[in-house]
Structure 1
């Protein structure tokens, strides 16, 4: 299911380590000629959105030594903050395009802070309630139409859904249908369990409330709309404490396109056995063919230091099930180069993936297939051609 391109909207309205902390395993690194910490001097991606609509045999192959290692797709991006002013849309588009991003998922933050709180970031304001709302989504819809870009494909996402109280979700989807017909083709990021929000009166989903999702999940399944779920796997005290919630979601809705944000990791979980974590991911991916993972958020690098060689083979093996993203939150107070920095950090693992995994994840094959978009990822140049 494809969101209409902006031009059409206006016309009609992707070494084994035993019993060691996750941080240590990720720090163990991977052998590569491009160190993950080495600044990259390659220019921003010159490939245009229009070029990616061409058949593969009409596109130049992708030279990984000369073209950027950062992805063409940012499948996890928040154009508005929890509260306060956002980066203006025209500036935001220019920022994305200058970094070579051609496809972006606009995740409005559904749990916005109380409007009279004066707070921009939830962690700075414990006690200030973050409540599910349609406000961000509606602003995103209006700005997407008002500020079109011919070189950026924006996928709008419904993020208003209160997973602990799902009674009126179908009714609100119908409101979106009336106000923005055909424009919202993703759902999420939705919070099943987000420990970091608990001090802001976040009410997690329960096994019972998950059972009550059936009406709106049926709508998403019928329309082929993916849903990105933030569901913490656990914490350092109990690494798999909340795994039953995600397992219940997958067992109950096996035919929905579900994307598990951040592979279930968080700041609260930094000392899990990496073998255990990868084993859980593999088991669920093998059991539920519609499940995908996203590797967004700089926490996956900053908290755990560096992608390790348990994870790179995993990402190569399951490369058709992984989406890239930054989890950037476009708060107006952020410096102009902040997105480029977060894109660099969240993309460092892409440097060391094999060519097929790079094509699947960074060049968009997975995203195009998931969204049934009429775009095509370029193939990676074979060894010996400028490599």
Structure 2
């Protein structure tokens, strides 16, 4: 089994490389020494600065967390499903029966914060998380509102819920085949603007590991040219015992058939899989390294602190320690992320080791 160790309890020191260094061409940057530099990613591609309810960690405090961990790029995924404001709830699982409904609230807060608190050493990508995928009729109209209020600022969409079993107790309405067909206008708009969309779509559960696979299959068949990122590779707290070979086989089949599809390896539920089955998952990450994005899935509620974020970021980066150099550059050092967004940044080359040098 490949070495994907458990969390040590001590935060991994962050990279000291600046945001500006990634703007240099690859051959102008110092090579990345994996023996001495962190194994954690320089990107948090799946981060929620606003909680489901209640107060968030203050923006400037959160910036200190990013800096300590060497994070230079972050996706601001506002929680699209806001709990009823009068409920006083912070986390949906603690409040069954309290509705968590799609809303523009968190996106607007994120948009305002990104202007109010600019940071010279951090690149923030704003994401639209308001769309109700079960009722897509007004999505384009609402995007036009974003265009008016935040012109040119939102470059991503998601995390949007197709099927999230954990939210069903909070009146979440999953998408259907019919409603997926109704996405056509806003998916066309995303294609025209080259905007990726991150979808949360549970693969299934322990009783039926592929119960909801048909939903993502229909999405991909209907919108093959959209840049779709499948969050958590379809895993969830409800699916913890799936045969890893079957899981990887499904992912490979879809990646092979749909070149615009990418996978997100955020959330610590994945760690339980690739820690136990490292020889299967790490080999998969190496083989499909141009199709993987990293992220923590941290929800920045004010009840949390740096140590909790550092732990979650470290856990979701553990697989990166075991992947090969090409995969590490693509995933951890941002090459996939830069390419997907068309950003003018570049991942550094990996330093050669003595073992890499040809024999004399």
Hey, what does 1:25 align to over in structure 2?
none
Residues 131-150 of structure 1 correspond to what in structure 2 (within 5 A)?
131-150=101-120
- C-alpha change, 1:40 and 1:382, in structure 2 (3 Å) is farther
Alpha-carbon distance between aligned partners in 2 of 1:305 and 1:203, rounded to the nearest angstrom = 33
Hey, what does 1:279 align to over in structure 2?
249
- C-alpha change, 1:37 and 1:98, in structure 2 (3 Å) is closer
Hey, what does 1:7 align to over in structure 2?
none
Shift of 1:304: 6.7
1:207 aligns with 2:177: yes
Shift of 1:50: 0.4
Hey, what does 2:325 align to over in structure 1?
355
Alpha-carbon distance between aligned partners in 2 of 1:304 and 1:368, rounded to the nearest angstrom = 25
Residues 302-341 of structure 1 correspond to what in structure 2 (within 5 A)?
302=272, 305-341=275-311
Hey, what does 2:150 align to over in structure 1?
180
Hey, what does 1:299 align to over in structure 2?
269
Shift of 1:335: 2.5
RMSD, aligned α-carbons: 1.6
Alpha-carbon distance between aligned partners in 1 of 2:304 and 2:277, rounded to the nearest angstrom = 26
Q: Secondary structure at the match of 2:62?
A: helix
Which residue, out of 338, 349, 360, partners 1:368?
338
Shift of 1:336: 2.7
Shift of 1:308: 1.7
Residues 43-54 of structure 1 correspond to what in structure 2 (within 5 A)?
43-54=13-24
Shift of 1:306: 3.9
Which one is further off, 342-351 or 330-339?
330-339
Retained in 2: the 8 A contact 1:270–1:304? Answer: no
Hey, what does 1:17 align to over in structure 2?
none
Q: Secondary structure at the match of 2:137?
A: coil
Retained in 2: the 8 A contact 1:130–1:201? Answer: yes
Hey, what does 1:66 align to over in structure 2?
36
Retained in 2: the 8 A contact 1:36–1:349? Answer: no
Shift of 1:44: 1.8
Hey, what does 2:92 align to over in structure 1?
122
1:290 aligns with 2:260: yes
Q: Secondary structure at the match of 1:289?
A: coil
- C-alpha change, 1:283 and 1:386, in structure 2 (3 Å) is closer
Shift of 1:38: 5.1
Q: Secondary structure at the match of 1:230?
A: strand
Alpha-carbon distance between aligned partners in 1 of 2:93 and 2:138, rounded to the nearest angstrom = 28
Alpha-carbon distance between aligned partners in 2 of 1:386 and 1:43, rounded to the nearest angstrom = 26
Hey, what does 2:203 align to over in structure 1?
233
Retained in 1: the 8 A contact 2:80–2:129? Answer: yes
Alpha-carbon distance between aligned partners in 1 of 2:209 and 2:187, rounded to the nearest angstrom = 28
Normalising to structure 2: TM-score of the pair?
Answer: 0.96
Shift of 1:309: 0.7
User: Greater RCO between the two (CA within 8 Å, min separation 6)?
Assistant: 1
Which residue, out of 313, 327, 345, partners 2:315?
345
- C-alpha change, 1:144 and 1:255, in structure 2 (3 Å) is same
Post-superposition CA distance 1:294-317 (Å, at most 9, x none): 000011124775452111110000
Q: Gaps (5+ residues) in structure 1?
A: 1-28
Alpha-carbon distance between aligned partners in 1 of 2:10 and 2:132, rounded to the nearest angstrom = 41
Which residue, out of 185, 188, 198, partners 1:218?
188
Shift of 1:184: 0.1
Q: Gaps (5+ residues) in structure 2?
A: none
Q: How many aligned residue pairs are there?
A: 357
Hey, what does 1:198 align to over in structure 2?
168
Alpha-carbon distance between aligned partners in 1 of 2:179 and 2:270, rounded to the nearest angstrom = 29
Hey, what does 2:60 align to over in structure 1?
90
Which residue, out of 77, 82, 87, partners 1:107?
77
- C-alpha change, 1:288 and 1:385, in structure 2 (3 Å) is same
